[in-house]
Amino acid sequence: MAIVVTGATGNVGRPLVTLLAAAGWPVRAITRTATASHFPDGVQVVDSVFDALTGASAVFLNSRALGDQLADVVSSARRSGVTKLVALSAINADDDFSRQPSRVRGDRNKEVEQICVDSGLDWVSLRPAVFATNFVGMWSAQIRAGDVVGGSYAAASSAPIVEADIAAVAAHALSTDELVGQQIPLTGPQAFTNTELVEIIGTVLGRPLRYVEAPPDVVRQRFIAIGLGAEFADAYTAMLADAVDNPALVTREVEKITGRPATTFARWVSDNRQMFAK
């Protein structure tokens, strides 16, 4: 039976579609913007998730992609005979909403997980740490312009995870029953401070990059200037403040589930150096 992937052109959805198709699963990719040429041969591209549910066995739920349709999609999935839901949540889903910057971008991590739990269907909730690609949006413009990255809380700790690793775990959750009923915290293989993350990028690029703490108002205005907004800036700063004295959780779930180590941040930067290069 088919597997439905919402948010199919996203940083997690796209590699997830590719992995499932490569494993021989019938995949229905939900997107309003892509054509079939964006996906492997055989993937069915559908612009309405409701049209894709009949005959499907499992659904990958991206709350940002579904927006206000989230609850209706789960109800329709249950009526259509879907037996499993896999939610893309976040490692900080239980934190106060004011410290969840992804909510400003449309993520509803706590809600998508709870809807799955309450659905009566088999469910898995993936709780990844900060995405590696987030640092492109926040830092790449500064890195292209010079050798200094200004930001809040140089000592704040995180364990960035590469989105392809999230997709690999999601593919396992969708195609087997081994993870049913679990909330799974997913992280990269090591925690770093902001200072260390910038140094890693510099090492890969062969440049003397350094992280310099900037006044909160300056950081706030920079987030606004790059289009992330004041509300995002405030939530991100609050999240970082919590991470100064609390080293980021590091789990080995990616390796345990996929049989290979999680991708290092340095490897990811090397594979995507064009995103930071001048």
What's the number of CA atoms in the CB half-sphere (13 Å) around residue 10? 23
Structure-token pair, residue 248:
């980021």
- Is pLDDT above 90 for 266? yes
Residue 47 lies in a domain: yes
Total domains in the fold of the chain? 1
121 falls in which pLDDT band (50, 70, 90)? very high
Residue 192 lies in a domain: no
> Tens of pLDDT along 194-251?
999 999 999 999 999 999 998 888 888 888 888 888 999 999 899 999 999 888 999 9
Residue 205 lies in a domain: no
What average pLDDT does the chain have? 94
> Tens of pLDDT along 160-181?
999 999 999 999 999 999 999 9
Residue 183 lies in a domain: yes
Structure-token pair, residue 33:
């913007």
Residue 96 lies in a domain: yes
Burial class (CB in 10 A: 0-12, 13-18, 19+), 225: exposed
> Tens of pLDDT along 41-85?
999 999 899 999 999 999 999 999 999 999 999 999 999 999 999
CA 97, 101, 107, 109 dihedral sign is: negative
* CATH code of 40's domain: 3.40.50.720
Residue 79 lies in a domain: yes
> Pairing between strand 122-128 and 56-62?
unpaired
How many residues does the structure list for the chain?
278
pLDDT for res 162: 98
Residue 135 lies in a domain: no
Residue type, 83: T
Which parts of 122-165 are beta strand (E)?
122-128, 148-151, 157-158
pLDDT for res 71: 97
Residue 236 lies in a domain: no
Residue type, 259: G
Quote the domain boundaries for residue 42: 2-129+161-187+249-262
